[in-house]
């Protein structure tokens, strides 16, 4: 009898009873479970063991940092998409960002609310019904997403709209009356016509002619429309933004003599943060530093309840594309009154921080001030100056401004190293646009010390904001990042065992433990793949009025304060500080405090919407860039292994594409999910995660962003520790029947350019954590 099948000790519920309790409760922490069943002493230790066993059996999953729920269960409330309508007209929803096998829920009718349509995003309350999960509508988060962005394809008999989203199956048939002026290759927005049609293509109605699929700007236009990113501003909001006065000293501290400077990307158009540092003259803090961070006082112009405020909340954040920005605020504010321009008076909310010689923060205070930036630098310009290459701007400010900034940062760095935040390295690419709207080049972004200096100063300012609001007992929106789930740690441990790096599955995944692993593999052949697997094991950061800390930064409390021009979450924190510190009448209102959970949910959703749109635009731009290179060979790395193929990332451009399993060779390949490998059933030869390979580009489809490669490298030899291969055996993952290669009929063919579920998310540097 195995350990997991023994009868639980007396006083404990059996496993089925425990799972049933969590099913009823939705989720609960260990202490809540123990209290419910009246457990003490040894019974509590046995409960912890039972929970571990249920997790290993796949019957329980983590919910938050400490909670547990039944595996496959849904949260009490969640943001979902309307994904399907059945033959009876019933709508079904699925959680946004859910795994493909996550349960769907039937949307229960509610006559008091307008019914959503297919594709709409909704906030719903989940509960179990007699026949499965049920969802009750709280509100629609955005409307009109039951629309299809697609390309016109004309034939002699009909006109169709083929969706640009490679995951969509909604090919629409357009009535002849609407298709007369349309041309093959036109980019259009169409609505799915309502009706009882069950067979054949759905009917569509053309709503808007957007452009041509070969337009150099099509990538960002497609991403904007496909993800419902709001564009432009109403006339009323534009008028309200223009009707703002220049800032004065009234109610503000005069900071214009403090020599603040801005350090931003070379192409930045808005500047919402400025920094300054000086030695602390207090003899009790020998070797210490004073660090100032000044942030644009957006709250002075965007007031609660105004039309500006309502549109900023709906947008949630600015969205950045290679050729354009969709800003959260009108340009007259984002690039004007709220931008900390060199030599101009600007309203700010600033924090003065004191650090000792070892980088420990010993105090801080916030002020509402009037400042004037003394210089505008790019990251590259500031770094070059520190490296000895000054110019007309940096030369005169080296001694008074730049050297003190760097010396203060080096002191702060000691504190950062003691804290040991997660040290994942993520290579970012930058697309440079040509004057004609095409792509001039795709480059790796340099990682400079100047980036890390601004990042650390912004992090510390964000910590100060959270600490002050907590101290003043003012509610706020935290930026929280949960620890990796036990399931993710188990998957990581399984993979590490295949490259000879032990990780005890019972060992907690702390940032220090992750960093130790990254350091041990940094100069080895496994460095890149370990970095990626560690990144995939992390949870996504979100906004929440409830604090669980920030795992990646290894901080107990953290809030976004430093980018109110482009993030609504930061504007809420500014208003909280104004209220808490009696800095004006435009602080956080009682109504906003009551709405903080909804605001946090909303800005999390808009952030993910923007990230998805930015990734999709990048994919399409890169596919357009590579379209002229079909047939060329490239060096790449295997970054994903699935049962339907291998995902390859090219070394030079960072482009991601697929090698379909049906093209790999003359034998069956099965997916060994523990080893992250495709294994030939006859020979045992393998294609493994992280391996460098050579591939040939077979297809590049700019309109969908899809790339398809052909594998040129031979598979690795059979793993000598694996069982002897025999025809028909499955990989250890056991995730389905054998997959047929191109030389065996009947093999599945994945859609071109499809993406792996759970793939890597865009990781922004510095201020965007």
| SS3 labels along 105-129 | EEEECCCCCCCCCCCCEEEEEEEEE
3-state secondary structure of 185: coil
Q: Give the pLDDT of residue 263.
A: 97
Range from 77-91, 206-220, 493-507, 752-766 carrying the lowest mean pLDDT:
752-766
| 259-298: pLDDT as tens digits | 999 999 998 888 999 999 999 999 999 999 999 999 999 9
Average pLDDT rounded to a whole number, residues 388-400: 96
Q: What is the mean pLDDT of residues 212-219?
A: 78
Greatest mean pLDDT among 65-69, 317-321, 742-746 lies in 317-321
Residue 31 contacts residue 48 (beta carbons within 8 Å): no
Rounded CA-CA distance 185/168 in Å is 18
Is residue 2 pLDDT above 80, yes or no? Answer: no
**Whole-number Å distance between alpha carbons of 207 and 188:** 7
Distances (CA, A) of 691 to 528, 541, 635, 676, 695: 9, 29, 11, 11, 12
Q: What is the pLDDT of residue 767?
A: 41
Q: Which of 94-98, 224-228, 235-239, 328-332 has the lowest mean pLDDT?
A: 94-98
Confidence of residue 766 (pLDDT cuts 50, 70, 90): very low
Confidence of residue 51 (pLDDT cuts 50, 70, 90): confident
Q: What is the pLDDT of residue 739?
A: 41
Print burial letters for 120-141: b (CB count within 10 Å at least 16), e (below 16).
bbbbbbbebeeeebbbebbebb
Model confidence at 675, pLDDT cuts 50, 70, 90, reads confident
Q: Which of 159-173, 331-345, 687-701, 710-724 has the lowest mean pLDDT?
A: 159-173
Q: How confident is the model at residue 756 (pLDDT cuts 50, 70, 90)?
A: very low
Task: Among 240-249, 407-416, 511-520, name the most confident range.
Answer: 407-416
In Å, what is the CA distance from 757 to each residue of 17, 124, 481, 577, 619?
33, 23, 21, 40, 16
| Residue 170 scores a pLDDT above 80 | no
Q: For 169, phi and psi rounded to 5 degrees? A: -110, 5
3-state helix, strand, coil in the chain (%, to 5): 30, 25, 45
Report the pLDDT value the prediction gives residue 667, as an integer from 0 to 100: 86
pLDDT classification of 216: cutoffs 50, 70, 90: low
Higher local confidence (pLDDT), 165 or 556:
556
Residue 182 CB coordination number (10 Å): 16
**What are the tokens at 330?**
């009108």
| In the predicted structure, residue 752 carries a pLDDT above the cut 60 | no
pLDDT (0 to 100) of residue 649: 92
Per-residue confidence (pLDDT) for residue 723, from 0 to 100: 67
The one-character DSSP state at 729 is: P
- Give the mean model confidence (pLDDT) for residues 567-585: 97
What local confidence, expressed as pLDDT, does residue 666 receive?
79
Report the C-alpha gap between 228 and 211 in whole angstroms: 17
Torsion of CA 70, 72, 73, 74, to 10 degrees: 150
């Amino acid at each position: 009898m195995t350990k997991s099948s023994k009868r639980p000790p007396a006083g404990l519920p059996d496993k089925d009873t425990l799972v049933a309790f969590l099913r009823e409760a939705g989720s609960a922490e260990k202490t809540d479970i123990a209290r419910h069943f009246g457990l003490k002493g040894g019974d509590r230790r046995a409960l912890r063991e039972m929970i571990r066993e249920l997790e290993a059996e796949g019957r329980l999953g983590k919910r938050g940092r400490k909670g547990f729920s039944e595996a496959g269960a849904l949260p009490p409330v969640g943001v979902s998409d309307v994904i399907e309508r059945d033959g009876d007209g019933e709508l079904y929803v699925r959680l946004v960002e859910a795994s493909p096998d996550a349960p769907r829920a039937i949307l229960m009718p509610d006559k008091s609310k307008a019914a959503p349509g297919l594709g709409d995003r909704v906030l719903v309350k989940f509960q179990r019904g007699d026949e499965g999960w049920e969802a009750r509508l709280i509100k629609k988060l955005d409307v009109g997403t039951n629309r299809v962005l697609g390309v016109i394809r004309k034939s002699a008999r009909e006109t169709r709209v083929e969706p640009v989203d490679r995951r969509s199956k909604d090919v629409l048939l357009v009535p002849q009356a609407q298709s007369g002026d349309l041309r093959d290759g036109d980019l259009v927005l169409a609505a799915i016509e309502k009706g009882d049609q069950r067979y054949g293509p759905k009917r569509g109605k053309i709503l808007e002619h957007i452009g041509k699929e070969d337009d150099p700007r099509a990538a960002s236009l497609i991403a904007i429309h496909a993800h419902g990113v709001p564009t432009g501003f109403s006339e009323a909001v534009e008028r309200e933004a223009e009707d703002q006065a220049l800032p004065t000293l009234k109610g503000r501290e005069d900071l214009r003599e403090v020599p603040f400077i801005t350090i931003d990307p070379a192409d930045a158009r808005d500047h919402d943060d400025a920094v300054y540092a000086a030695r602390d003259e207090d003899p009790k803090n020998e070797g210490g530093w004073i660090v100032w961070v000044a942030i644009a006082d957006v709250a002075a112009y965007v007031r609660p309840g105004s039309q500006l405020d309502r549109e900023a909340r709906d947008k949630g954040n600015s969205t950045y594309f290679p050729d354009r920005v969709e800003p959260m605020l009108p340009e007259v504010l984002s690039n004007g009154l709220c931008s900390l321009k060199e030599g101009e008076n600007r309203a700010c909310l600033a924090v003065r921080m004191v650090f000792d010689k070892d980088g420990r923060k010993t105090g801080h205070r916030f002020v509402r001030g009037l400042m004037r930036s003394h210089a505008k630098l790019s990251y590259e310009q500031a770094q070059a100056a520190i490296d000895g290459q000054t110019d007309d701007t940096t030369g005169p400010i080296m001694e008074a401004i730049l050297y003190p900034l760097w010396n203060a940062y080096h002191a702060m760095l000691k504190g950062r190293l003691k804290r040991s935040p997660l040290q994942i390295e993520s290579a970012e690419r930058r697309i440079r646009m040509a004057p004609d709207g095409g792509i001039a080049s795709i480059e790796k972004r340099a990682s400079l010390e100047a980036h890390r200096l601004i990042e650390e100063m912004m992090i510390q300012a964000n910590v100060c904001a959270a600490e002050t609001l907590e101290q003043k007992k003012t509610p706020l929106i935290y930026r929280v990042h949960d620890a990796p789930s036990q399931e993710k740690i188990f998957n990581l441990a399984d993979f590490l065992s295949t490259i000879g790096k032990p990780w005890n599955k019972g060992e907690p995944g702390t940032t220090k433990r992750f960093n130790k692993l990254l350091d041990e593999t940094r100069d080895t052949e496994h460095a890149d793949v370990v970095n990626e697997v560690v990144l995939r094991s992390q949870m996504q950061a979100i906004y929440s009025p409830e604090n669980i800390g920030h795992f990646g930064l290894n901080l107990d409390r953290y809030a976004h304060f430093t980018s109110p021009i482009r993030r609504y979450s930061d504007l809420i924190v500014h208003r909280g500080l104004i209220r808490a510190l009696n800095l004006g009448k435009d602080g956080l209102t009682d109504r906003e405090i009551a709405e903080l959970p909804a605001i946090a949910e909303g800005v999390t959703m808009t952030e993910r919407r923007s990230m998805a749109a930015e990734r999709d635009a990048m994919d399409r731009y890169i596919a357009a860039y590579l379209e002229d290179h079909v047939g060329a060979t490239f060096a790449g790395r295997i970054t994903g292994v699935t049962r339907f193929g291998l995902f390859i990332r090219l070394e030079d451009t960072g482009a991601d594409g697929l090698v379909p399993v049906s093209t790999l060779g003359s034998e069956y390949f099965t997916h060994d999910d523990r080893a992250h490998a495709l294994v030939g059933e006859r020979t045992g030869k393998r294609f493994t995660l992280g391996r460098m390979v050579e591939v040939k580009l077979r297809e590049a489809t700019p309109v969908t962003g899809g790339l398809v490669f052909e594998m040129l490298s031979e598979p690795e030899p059979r793993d000598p520790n694996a069982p002897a291969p025999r025809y028909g055996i499955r990989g250890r993952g056991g995730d389905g029947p054998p997959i047929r290669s191109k030389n065996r009929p009947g093999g599945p063919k994945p859609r071109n350019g499809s993406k792996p579920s759970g793939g890597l998310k865009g990781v922004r540097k510095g201020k965007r954590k």
